[in-house]
Structure 1
Amino acid sequence: MTTPSEPGHGGPDPGFGAVVSERRRLTNVAYRLLGSLADAEDVVQETYARWYVLSPREREAIESPGAWLTTVASRICLDLLRSARVRRERYVGEWIPEPLPDRAEWTGGRSDGDTADPADRVTLDESVNMAFLVVLESMTPAERVAFVLHDVFRYSFGEVAEIVGRTPAACRQLASSARRRIRASRAPATPVARQAEVVRDFKQAWEARDIAALIGLLDPDVTAIGDGGGLVSAELHPIRGGEQVARVLVDVTGGAPDLRIVERTVNGRPGLVAQLAGVTVTVMAFDMAGDRITRIWAVRNPAKLRPWTTG
């Protein structure tokens, strides 16, 4: 959408500004529902395409364009979630949600309204940290939609019911089930400042190839998961245990002496980015309990790294 004209009708659309202003909300909803910025972009474009195939009379009859757009986008996401399990079965290795950089770190640092990249429109809050998104992945499509729309975006259960095709009472139960999953997965929160210190210590130990120091920072039952999408060499299965994870990390740096490790914000939390020759090759997100790292997510799939700066 680059012009406030009605496709096929030749005249200006007086509601164009109000409709376009919904793009940020739609991108935020779609990213949380799908865990993929690329898919979220496609959903938003498809949503606007459906809006503009309506006749002027049909659009004028819609009392709340924003609500209409959100409903359409959410239904598209629901369809994608229902088909995602089939696609994930064909995915080589583990699937991790697409990581997002801090707003200022998006390629080029652009933030100029409609010309900005989509990641600039995603609000980085607790509902996009990697641990949260991974739990969302464990939910049924209906649970995920009901929970995200009601608990994150504050839509009523009546509105959610129209989207998922169930009763408000059923949607309330879906959201309640989703909340139980969230609660069961949560460890006591580590303050962000302390998380940053642990990640920095982890980086220094990794660079020094200090296995003992790494083990000291890792929970004995830590799990490391890599996502290469079948396109790059990566561990196809999770690695468990502090010593095992530490040794794999040291092997990585030993095989790539020019690897540069940089501290970055990943989905609103302290994380790390690994670069070779100035190109981002891995983005790492962490979950912690106290002063120990309990989970590491390492995204190496190039298709999921496009938002990241290279220097």
Structure 2
Amino acid sequence: MDEAGLAVLFEEQRPHLRAVAYRMLGTHTEADDAVQNAWLRLSGADTAEVANLAGWLTTVVARECLKMLRARRNRREEPLIDTTAELSAGGHDAGDPEAEALLADSIGPALMVVLDSLAPAERLAFVLHDVFAVPFDEIAAILERSPAATRQLTSRARRRVVGATPPRQVDIIRQRQVVQAFLSALRHGDFDGLLAVLDPDVLLRDGGAELVRGARAVGAHALTYSRAARFVRPALVDGTVGLAIVPQGRLIGALGFTFDHGKIAVIELINDPGRLGHVDLAPLRS
């Protein structure tokens, strides 16, 4: 593929890559540097054998971030938390897909402070697995550790994060993990992945009316919309983590979730303009 074609594919991945880098590094400036370094790697690499370009780029960005985190720790720098997105959340441009992806996936300055207390490897493992649902074996390759060791590293980081995070933010983190797993399964057409996060008696409603009940029936119904899942972004829906449907940056609908014991118990389809006014595309605040 020529450089122009690669540039188009890279720009499609840029919002996700910036989101990953920002969670890792905590500043937009360093995140942009990591993403730019990934482009330099891509433009000079032989990608003919790369089957999953998105995964390849995520790995490259993660490694760039890991180097920057280790260099920061070696210099014993105090992390500079970039709260620009938090301060400007009320007036963000919902038509900018980059800003939208970054804001919708944000984890807030309170949690960022906790992340800065983690060792670089712990932070990378926690962010990639618990925030972006990257499999342990892929993270292990980045860290040059075994999948089992990587799983233990993530668990240790998770305990530290949960122990130092305000209760509401912990709820948001857990909800985000479930919703991210649901969205990932939906985008990949993964029926078993959907079943893993749905309560066996899950209810799908539209405007309060029951549409479908039961995990297998709801999962099958959800998969009929898998091709449209690329227009879906995490958001706060009535104060709970849900999904916003935003083709070309325009909010046209949302999915509200009710959670029970770490599973999705109710999914509500929302398209009423009044209800959509309560869908917050701004950062998930602590």
TM-score range, shorter chain: 0.5 to 0.7
Mapped pair 1:78 → 2:66: yes
Mapped pair 1:150 → 2:129: yes
Q: Call closer, same or farther: CA 1:59–1:49 in 2, change over 3 Å.
A: same
* Preserved CA contact (<8 Å) 2:90 2:282: no
In the alignment, which residue of structure 1 is the partner of 2:22? Answer: 31
Report the Cα offset of residue 105 of structure 1: 2.5
Distance in 2 (alpha carbons) for counterparts of 1:96 and 1:139 = 15
Mapped pair 1:98 → 2:82: yes
* Preserved CA contact (<8 Å) 2:114 2:165: no
Aligned pair count?
Answer: 175
* Preserved CA contact (<8 Å) 1:161 1:171: yes
Structure 1 residues not aligned, in runs of 5+: 7-11, 193-264, 270-286, 288-311
Residues 52-94 of structure 1: CA distance to partner in whole angstroms, max 9, x if unpaired? 012xxx22221111111111100000000001123444x5xxx
In the alignment, which residue of structure 2 is the partner of 1:133? Answer: 112
Distance in 1 (alpha carbons) for counterparts of 2:168 and 2:96 = 34
Structure 2 residues not aligned, in runs of 5+: 173-280
Q: Call closer, same or farther: CA 1:132–1:78 in 2, change over 3 Å.
A: same
Mapped pair 1:163 → 2:151: no
| Greater C-alpha Rg | 1
* Preserved CA contact (<8 Å) 2:27 2:80: no
Letter in 2 for 1:26: L
Residues 23-70 of structure 1: CA distance to partner in whole angstroms, max 9, x if unpaired? 11100100000001110011111101110012xxx2222111111111
Distance in 2 (alpha carbons) for counterparts of 1:25 and 1:266 = 16
Q: Which of 111, 116, 122 is the matching residue for 2:102?
A: 122
Letter in 2 for 1:66: A
Letter in 2 for 1:183: V
Q: Percent identity?
A: 38
Q: How does 1:254-293 map to 2 (within 5 A)?
A: 267-269=283-285
SS in 1 for 2:20: helix
Q: Call closer, same or farther: CA 1:110–1:61 in 2, change over 3 Å.
A: same
Letter in 2 for 1:123: L
Distance in 2 (alpha carbons) for counterparts of 1:181 and 1:155 = 20
* Preserved CA contact (<8 Å) 1:37 1:119: no
Report the Cα offset of residue 186 of structure 1: 2.6
Residues 261-298 of structure 1: CA distance to partner in whole angstroms, max 9, x if unpaired? xxxx98543xxxxxxxxxxxxxxxxx6xxxxxxxxxxx
Q: How does 1:44-83 map to 2 (within 5 A)?
A: 44-54=35-45, 58-83=46-71
Q: How does 1:189-268 map to 2 (within 5 A)?
A: 189=168, 267-268=283-284
Report the Cα offset of residue 16 of structure 1: 4.2
Instruction: Give me the CA root mean square deviation.
Output: 2.8
Distance in 2 (alpha carbons) for counterparts of 1:66 and 1:76 = 15
SS in 2 for 1:97: coil
SS in 1 for 2:50: coil
Question: Which has a greater percent of helix?
Answer: 2
Residues 126-150 of structure 1: CA distance to partner in whole angstroms, max 9, x if unpaired? x521111111001010000011101
* Preserved CA contact (<8 Å) 1:96 1:134: no
TM-score (norm 1): 0.50
Report the Cα offset of residue 172 of structure 1: 0.3
TM-score (norm 2): 0.55
Distance in 1 (alpha carbons) for counterparts of 2:28 and 2:53 = 23
Distance in 1 (alpha carbons) for counterparts of 2:64 and 2:7 = 22
In the alignment, which residue of structure 2 is the partner of 1:196? Answer: none
Q: Which of 13, 21, 28 is the matching residue for 1:22?
A: 13
Q: Call closer, same or farther: CA 1:268–1:87 in 2, change over 3 Å.
A: farther
SS in 2 for 1:21: helix
